[in-house]
A and B are shown apart, each in its own frame.
Chain A
Amino acid sequence: MPFKNLTALSRFRKLSINMTNFSRQTASDILSRLTDGSITAASVTASLSQTIRDRDSAVKAYVRLNPDLEKSDISGEIPIPIAIKDNICIRGHEITCASKILKGFISSYDATVIRKLKEKGLPIIGQANMDEFAFGSSTENSCYGPTHNPWKLTHVPGGSSGGSAAAVAADEAFWALGSDTGGSIRQPAAFCGVVGLKPTYGRVSRYGLIAFASSLDQIGPLTKDVRDSALLLNLIAGYDPRDSTSADVPVPDYTQALTNDVHDLTIGIPNEYFIDGMDPEVKEAIRAAIDVLKSRGARFQEISLPHTPYAVSTYYIIATAEACSNLARYDGVRYGLREIPATARRAAIVDMFEETRDAGFGAETKRRVMLGTYALSSGYYDAYYLCGQKVRTLIKQDFDNAWKNCDAIITPTSPTTAFRIGERCADPLSMYLSDIYTISANLSGIPAISIPCGFSREGLPIGLQIMGPAFQESLLFRIAHTYEQAVSWHKQKPELIPSSSVD
């Protein structure tokens, strides 16, 4: 027994709370306390470092920590440390996409989002774990091993931005950047009980985001609440001349949207999303969330997104086709892993390509490269890729039609809560179905946010997804914030006992 008497116990608690309090707070709270001078930036990074030391051996959210975090320049406007998914380039730092093939690769430049964060003075905590090249929904496909869900260490944090979501959930980061190609921000946000936003395609520059599927990828924030999400989007959004797909659309101050008012809004509920495979606890939580928003004055209406059943297969054709091309550059010629067949005295260049890619890519990566190659192959292009693009257009049209009847759409983020580590590894199809509610937003380019809306009896978080028309992030923040004001799910913390306090 570590504690001899109650006085000692209470003293420890007080100490412990003081120590961890900083890291438990939201970025916005820290920012206002920095502004009023009640805390210092140095103490913020110090307490964060302590939390990471206490917890990350169990959570394994990070693949790389910035050894100089506590020595970071904290004189900037927003000196609140941030975690970065391991697929966003930081000049002078190793970046791997959690793949063996990129181990040792140092980026020679900053992604546009990193440049923007540095300009505002955000120190970088480290790089967060992910599924290799963002291929996965559990962060199990990482060459560094899986990240654990802070709410239940035996369970996955979701993916592919599982490291970013787990870091925020475990208070190992105030906020984090992830990337979302088919749900890779929103699904882990739901599994870890944090807020995750996939912005409109083109809202945030992709320059320096290592591509998975270029027409679907988008960088976005993972945060402890909706306000932080709006604040972080303010920092990263905007047109970038280095990214031809970024949109030259004005960036509003998203924090101005946090109005706690939805009375004039009509929110759609798609028939097609409430399917048999849905976990009854998830269904119940969503219904309850709908009731909360109704009580705040929102009107709800059933809508139809008729092409939803084709979304998953469409996604896996387009995403893998683009991925197989995007991953072609990992050939051992210029950087990263290079393997030369041991048997051949003079290996042909093609042998090096094959050997390197065989040794460097994990099983899921190989599977997707093969699927994509097949979908683009001569004789199959029309049946797969071209057909996929046509269905994608139909899915977009579904949403265009939906906006005639509603302002936003509410769905679950994922049909289930977090599953056990290893549970779905042998069954890629069941893994692919975890993205069933999220991929339509990527296919149609619209913004979508996942916010906590309850817990299962097992104590695992449940996520609510809100989707809106392109460039209507403010609307999503407004609805999400209004809901958040009425509930307290986002304030609950996982009972991770800091290992240093259990001596």
Chain B
Amino acid sequence: MSVHTPQDFETVIGLEVHLQFSTRTKIFCGCENAFGRDPNTCTCPVCQGLPGSLPVLNKTALDYAVKTALALNCRVNTYIKFDRKNYFYPDLPKGYQISQYDFPIGYDGQIQIPQENNDTEKVIRIHRAHLEEDAGKLIHDSDHRCSLVDYNRTGTPLMEIVTEPDLRSPQEAYDYLTRLKLALEYLEVSDCDMEKGSLRCDANISIRPRGEKTLGTKAELKNMNSFKAVKAALEFERQRQITVILSGGTIIQETRLWDENRQATQSMRTKEAAHDYRYFPDPDLVPFTLDENHIERIRQTLPENPESKFQRLQSDYGVSAYDARIIIQDQYLANFFEQCASVFTETKKICNWINGELLKEFNTRKISIRQTALSPKNFTDLIRLVEEGAISNLAAKEILPLLFETNQTTAQIIDDKGLAQVSDDGELEQLITEVLEKNPAVVEQIQNGDHKAVGFLIGETMKASRGKANPKKVGTILQRRLIHE
């Protein structure tokens, strides 16, 4: 098939995601696994690779790896074996990385992404997910024209999750990463923070004429610091490869770095300069077989995955797809919603309050539901009281943040703050009399037929009541006293 235009090409993308586990200690030693400490303070002979030191596997890191593999619908290798990946680099203190070569913990997994332009889902196959150790961090000091190495990160447990080349566009890559990250966040094995480097992504991309079965020559893209950057780098690289082919050139297999400032990729090394990693089984770590029961116990700890939650919120509670998508972004928020729904049947109202006022408060305070004391009972009481007219919307918004940090009930807070809505006719009549006396000109205006000015008087009455007056009732009384009398 001849190719003449960019539309004649199909893009093929595969992604490699590195996920740092937030275990208390490192994968092969007892050093603290912490981010942001002074350089080289979380190190020991083992993670510094000092002569004579030996690795011992952190069982929690292994459990996290199994949990991750299961969540990605992988088959789990019960034969646990580690290999050495040999290469020289200053951030690699042993001159090899302990990784898994022929027996990755997880393989043959899958996750689903939304299809572009229709409502069905597309399956992205996970080729493998294996456990390894992270390397150190190089800091290039251009002032002193030298490089410094921080080995704190060395030995952080790392899961590498590799897809099959199933992604067909930068958007699909973006969607995959979004879905993957959410699924991983649910597992609570990592903080999944790209800024801290606890989630990192490399991308392989090639193009081929539509209909062609064999893969084109790929480029590996590195150094993308956000999902947006991954998408942008893939867009750029797709265009670059198409331009090369259409101008009669050939793609060479190489590693290219994404330059965020220039919004372009540039060649780092070609295949000729690629490493021969000389993988072989690490003789310091004896292979062993994982008990099937142990895997089953880990499977029992898996949370409901975000997509099934998404479906269930819609089918069980009649939540709209739009609301459900927002709520499942935080599994604790989704759980909170369900607890609310069990005591208060108006789920639409709950959704509105969660996706409106509650998330607004969370965002300004940079907190999430887990960091508050907000109980489903207090939250639904608040909504109910607004519905019943016992408190105003304004008062409710004032009360909500107070519920984050208290074990008082909503009713108690309303009492304490005197925020109960004033609906008592006598009290309101008295209040309105005072307002009318203060605004004779407006009263006259209304009596002369300008009924719109009633709104102003409602506002004045609300102000005078410090927001407690029931605005509906105030309106009715004003109507009666100024217009209908």
Chain A interfacial positions (CB closer than 8 Å to B): 87-89, 95, 97, 102, 105, 107-109, 111, 206-211, 213-215, 241-245, 321-322, 324-325, 327-331, 333-335, 346, 349-350, 353, 373, 376-378, 381, 385
Contacts and interface: CB of A to CB of B under 8 A. Distances in A.
B90 interface: yes
B95 to A, nearest CB: 2
Given A328-B88, A334-B48, 10 more contacts: A88-B52, A111-B52, A207-B54, A208-B52, A241-B56, A244-B57, A325-B86, A325-B280, A329-B49, A331-B90
B52 A329 contact: no
Given A89-B51, A333-B90, A353-B88, A325 B95 contact: yes
Residue among B49, B52, B282 facing the most chain A CB atoms (10 A cut-off): B52
Given A329-B93, A334-B93, A349-B90, A206 B280 contact: no
Contact of B283 (A87, A105, A214, A328): A214
A382 to B, nearest CB: 12
Given A325-B84, A329-B94, A334-B93, A244 B51 contact: no
Contacts of A349: 89-90, 147
A244 B90 contact: no
Contact of A214 (B45, B86, B145, B284): B284
Interface string B145-166: 1010100000000000000000
Nearest to A216: B283
Contacts of A376: 86, 278-280
9 contacts: A87-B52, A210-B51, A213-B283, A244-B55, A324-B278, A325-B96, A329-B93, A331-B88, A333-B93
Contacts of A328: 86, 88, 94-96
B86 to A, nearest CB: 5
B284 A245 contact: yes
Give chain B's interface secondary structure class: loop
B284 A244 contact: yes
Contact of B56 (A87, A244, A330): A244
- Which of the four size classes fits the interface of chain B? 20 to 34
A244 B88 contact: no
Contacts of B88: 328, 331, 350, 353
B54 A321 contact: no
Interface in B243-286: 276, 278-280, 282-286
A114 to B, nearest CB: 10
Residue among A88, A334, A373 facing the most chain B CB atoms (10 A cut-off): A334
A96 to B, nearest CB: 10
A111 B50 CA distance: 12
Contacts of A102: 51
Contacts of B285: 244
B477 to A, nearest CB: 80
B352 interface: no
B280 A207 contact: no
Contacts of A330: 95
Contacts of B89: 349
A210 B278 contact: no
B283 A373 contact: no
Contacts of A206: 54
Contacts of A381: 278-280
Contacts of A95: 51
A87 B51 CA distance: 9
Contacts of A321: 280
A107 B52 contact: yes
Contacts of B53: 109, 207-208
A346 B146 CA distance: 10
Contacts of A324: 86, 278
A322 B51 contact: no
Contacts of B54: 206-207, 242-245
Contacts of A244: 54-57, 284-286
B149 A89 contact: no
Contacts of A334: 48-49, 93
Interface in B57-96: 57, 84, 86, 88-90, 93-96
A245 B51 contact: no
A242 B49 contact: no
Interface string B208-231: 000000000000000000000000
A378 B276 contact: yes
A243 B283 CA distance: 11
A107 B45 CA distance: 9
A206 B93 CA distance: 19
Contact of A377 (B48, B51, B52, B276): B276
A95 B53 CA distance: 14
Contacts of B147: 349
A319 to B, nearest CB: 11
